[in-house]
Chain A
């Protein structure tokens, strides 16, 4: 039996507004419990919601960024259910008329020769309020309720069930994460719960038209857990079906310690949320000039930059995708290119994806904390371009710059690392080396190609690495064939 997996993701993104979606309380993370829940958030008798315009603007921003339809009239509905972290006994959400419908995200899946592109369609994105937190540990058989989070604005992004593997799901989730942090609607801090993924997973035999019954894995807050959870769930579902059991629709939780998914025992059958339009809120009307204002304020988006890098600078799709991994990284890259007298995107790309990224990773730093500014890096790369430095020596200078010893030129001067490109000087060194390595010379002339490299090595050593490698190559060959 050949099995196919079908996955759809629902991603809850906390929005970067000043205050909650329906009240003026702060949404800053980490405050003492119940210190950021005002009377509206606690659902005292008589209180009423007032819509946060910033939240709507985030919705518009996201809709434009994924090429979706913005519903000019959209409205709020009440989703009714009882739980202690839901003070009103209903969540204000958007059911019938969400702010965003349609749209898509194209993602790169895999790497190297395994790399392919896939477009994931987005069904809708809607505004809603977050619930509070229920804390089950530390309370001796009771549950602590912290309402600080209640009312935090969310944009829930629902994809079509277009993904066919955990890998594709992770690629989509990562691309979505990059996009929302890129356009600034979400801070992307997964440990703090700013970006939470629910995965709907089902399996079917290859060729079957209908989808299998899906189970929903809730509240995954890392890409690693997302991948693990989906893979476990797939194996579990296949095993169940092969053992003759039918898959029951269920909501499941992933246990990172065991790596398993488990149905939530306390959940009843599919809830009837009795959705109806919230009579305390007016329908939202999006004016055209507001939309245009937001559109004008959008930065160049990842997909637009990727297209430009490939068209203008001939970078590969992989390089373009890597360099647009974050807005900060892309802007760093572009600033370095712009800083070169003679722009060479490939050179910059190699350095940014190579030494810069490696060093950042080693020290667990973000591009925002890079110890070498774009201008400084451009200064270093310019010295490679103009022949002052060999590539190898440039790495030394890079390390010194990172250690804070100054700009490229300062270090080159201080350490006397200027590349020797004077043919006369190089000839002199070559002559000395040839005289000191007669055996190698004879071996080369006898046909041993490897001897050439040994001689080159000796020349570089004698010049303390400063000789221009290309010139050494050319001149040495000349002399040996003379």
Chain B
């Protein structure tokens, strides 16, 4: 029985209710999403891999569990996964030619968690190559288009996941965030995305870009959905030495906490001359809305945050240059078809297998780690990182949560910033400090610009304060409807 089109805008929460009330089966839901993917993906290019047979096998298994009375809250609710997560039997490309033939023999921890929750995989979403980018234009598989305006970028690196949720090709998707790669595309696509505290979600099976900065997180239509999905994703994993062993928590527990008495910090550095136009207006309106809900705002300082992009573009490439050394054509992945000796094989394989941005960052990384430059660049950047983190610790003495814009502008045109890498890097100016400090952060829709392009509001929580941060977002989403808007043609 075909479902009402309205179902396509159902949240994870609503789909869960539909399934538990017997009003739909997982197979029916998945078929509808797969149908929409087939129709709209050629334009949006949000997915790299779709495998309807595989998805429906998982959906049938979920329905069987439910029939046997063994289902959980989210059994049968489908999600899409960023192609950075190794998933057994799926092509896992990381947006790169280097892994264009890599069918993963194992599941990432995150994938295992979703499987254990009985949530079928709708497909692997497109992304900037090796998670390096802020516009999803560096993918070997072609750029992703923003569903709000297909001549514009969706943001990156989790552009495919953001676009697919915005276009409702999936009710939610997983993403990863190293300098803003969940939050910035969430802002540009008008959806809600969260990066948890570093260490909360296991990185095992998540292809590494910058090990000390990478974190996986949910991208969905609402804060509540993000909380439900974080419950699935979070948890200690012995296979990741940076994974934290903490008592299990319910990230939806504070959704209904009223905002009376909440102190919201507004960093003066985020509200300076860089914040202009419609973005400034939308953020101001959001602040007013939060005041109306009972929250207070206080100005705080993050004096070293102006150095965060510079510090990040030393540290992240340094770690990446080492993490990407394993892609050498020897054991798996792409190998150049003709070569003379070993050195020739290495050079050709990596020259041909990697795109330009990846090569740029590998070279930067090797340079800042090299003899004679290590102290001046790498060590210096690590020191700055400590100062940036300390700023947040100080700020949180005066407030409970920090607020600001997510991105300096709304979605820009395809090709607009590709000529100048640094200009592209500045897209992350508000998000990067959060990764350097390891704090949790999220973006939620707070308006549109004159051209109808979404604007995102960023919340930053203290360490392990995801539940409170989600609560603030949820209360805001109860009082507003930005997050329910969908692009034309959905």
User: Taking beta carbons and an 8 Å cutoff, which residues of A are in contact with B?
Assistant: 39, 42-51, 78, 80, 82, 84, 87-90, 145, 272, 274-276, 279-282
CB–CB A281/B94 < 8 A: no
- Which of A87, A279, A282 makes the CB contact (< 8 A) with B326? A87
- Can you list 15 residue pairs at the A/B interface with Cβ under 8 Å? A44-B104, A45-B99, A46-B104, A46-B206, A48-B204, A48-B240, A80-B322, A80-B369, A82-B325, A84-B330, A89-B322, A89-B326, A274-B366, A274-B371, A280-B211
Residues on the A chain within 8 Å of B370, using CB: 272, 274
CB–CB A276/B242 < 8 A: no
- Asked if B212 is an interface residue, CB under 8 A from chain A, the answer is yes
Residues on the B chain within 8 Å of A272, using CB: 370-371
CB–CB A44/B86 < 8 A: yes
CB–CB A42/B106 < 8 A: no
Nearest-Cβ distance from residue B107 to partner chain A, whole angstroms: 10
CB–CB B322/A78 < 8 A: yes
CB–CB A51/B241 < 8 A: yes
- Asked if B452 is an interface residue, CB under 8 A from chain A, the answer is no
Q: How far is the CA of A267 from the CA of B211 in the complex (A)?
A: 31
Nearest-Cβ distance from residue B381 to partner chain A, whole angstroms: 11
- Which of A50, A89, A282 makes the CB contact (< 8 A) with B238? A50
- Asked if B410 is an interface residue, CB under 8 A from chain A, the answer is no
User: Taking beta carbons and an 8 Å cutoff, which residues of B are in contact with A?
Assistant: 85-86, 92, 94, 99, 102, 104-106, 108, 203-208, 210-212, 238-242, 318-319, 321-322, 325-328, 330-332, 342, 346, 366, 369-371, 374, 378
CB–CB A280/B371 < 8 A: no
Q: Is the interface of B mostly helix, strand, loop or mixed?
A: loop
12 more A-B contacts (CB under 8 A) besides A45-B326, A274-B322? A42-B331, A46-B108, A48-B203, A50-B241, A80-B321, A80-B325, A88-B326, A274-B366, A274-B369, A276-B322, A279-B242, A281-B241
Residues on the B chain within 8 Å of A84, using CB: 328, 330, 342
Closest to B202 in A: A48
Residues on the A chain within 8 Å of B104, using CB: 44-46
CB–CB A82/B346 < 8 A: yes
Nearest-Cβ distance from residue B338 to partner chain A, whole angstroms: 15
CB–CB B207/A46 < 8 A: yes
Residues on the B chain within 8 Å of A49, using CB: 241
Q: How far is the CA of A39 from the CA of B332 in the complex (A)?
A: 12
Contacts A42-B331, A43-B326, A88-B326 given: A279-B211 contact, CB under 8 Å?
yes
Q: How far is the CA of A49 from the CA of B238 in the complex (A)?
A: 10
Closest to B325 in A: A89
Closest to B212 in A: A279
Residues on the A chain within 8 Å of B86, using CB: 44-46
Contacts A42-B331, A45-B94, A282-B241 given: A90-B346 contact, CB under 8 Å?
no
CB–CB A45/B102 < 8 A: yes
Contacts A89-B326, A145-B330, A280-B211 given: A46-B374 contact, CB under 8 Å?
no
- Which of B208, B212, B325, B327 makes the CB contact (< 8 A) with A46? B208
Q: How far is the CA of A44 from the CA of B94 in the complex (A)?
A: 13
Closest to A84 in B: B330
